[in-house]
């Protein structure tokens, strides 16, 4: 792993939470990001399902606070890897495992987190060079699945996404996840529609507190 990718991966582990941004109204993205950052989050991914996602990343990247990690999510092909990295993404998250995506990210010296579910997929992705393996969809699996997978595969860094809530985020960390990916639990659609960014900030504060407590107990 290069020094750059190693630093990005370490920063994601310290953050413990990656906010997954899937909003329908891109004009609200800046306010959403600011609220989450004010709540203590330091890593987020803008998914390619957000209209104009690449340009939004380009607009956000130069204006983020120092130490903040901006990434791209729902990336499924090498051409999009190039576009999001050129726009300023420092890590790439994929819903699936494809070796070509790992190769494309490493060629640009950015960390990559491919989506896997079975132990076979997880180990294949790790051996192919995944910096962190996104366990997806984790909704039906529960924190016990992370613990079970890490039993025979303790070397693999796992980030469950799906099924992570403000209240149970710490359970995933205590089970062995290095971070959690969290979408709707943080970015409540009703709060965004109402312009209630204080609620988003409160959501961020709550999940960060839970993750910090879990990290402290695991250290």
What pLDDT, in 10s, does the model give residues 55-86? 999 999 999 988 899 999 999 999 999 999 99
Q: Delimit the domains of the chain by residue range.
A: 3-218
pLDDT band, residue 218 (cuts 50/70/90): confident
What percent of the chain is predicted at pLDDT more than 90? 95
**What's residue 78's pLDDT?**
97
What pLDDT, in 10s, does the model give residues 179-206? 999 999 999 999 999 999 999 999 999 9
Residues 6+ apart with CB under 8 A from 121: 97
Angle at 213 between CA 182 and CA 157, to 5 degrees: 55
Q: Which helix (H) or strand (E) holds 159?
A: strand 158-160
**What's residue 65's pLDDT?**
86
Domain 3-218 CATH class label: alpha beta
Residues annotated as catalytic are 45, 134
Q: What share of the chain is helix, strand, coil (3-state, %, to 5)?
A: 50, 15, 35
As a whole number, mean pLDDT of residues 148-168 equals 97
pTM above 0.85, yes or no: yes
pLDDT band, residue 16 (cuts 50/70/90): very high
């Amino acid at each position: 792993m290069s020094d750059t990718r190693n630093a990005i991966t370490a920063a994601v582990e310290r953050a413990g939470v990656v906010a997954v941004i899937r909003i329908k109204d891109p004009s609200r993205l800046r306010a959403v990001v600011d609220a989450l950052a004010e709540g203590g989050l330091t890593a987020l991914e803008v998914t390619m399902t957000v209209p104009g996602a690449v340009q939004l990343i380009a607009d956000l990247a130069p204006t983020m606070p120092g130490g903040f990690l901006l990434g791209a999510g729902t990336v499924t092909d090498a051409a999009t890897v190039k576009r999001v990295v050129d726009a300023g993404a420092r890590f790439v998250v994929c819903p699936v495992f494809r070796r070509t995506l790992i190769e494309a990210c490493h060629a640009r010296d950015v960390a990559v987190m491919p989506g896997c579910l079975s132990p076979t997929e997880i180990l294949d992705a790790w051996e192919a060079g995944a910096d962190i393996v996104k366990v997806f969809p984790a909704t039906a699996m529960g924190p016990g699945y992370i613990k079970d997978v890490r039993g025979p595969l303790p070397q693999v860094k796992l980030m469950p996404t799906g099924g992570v809530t403000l209240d149970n985020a710490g359970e995933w960390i205590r089970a062995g996840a290095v971070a959690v990916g969290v979408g709707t639990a943080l970015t409540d659609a009703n709060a965004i529609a109402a312009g209630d960014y204080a609620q988003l900030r409160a959501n961020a504060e709550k999940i960060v507190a839970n993750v910090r407590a879990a990290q402290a107990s695991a250290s």
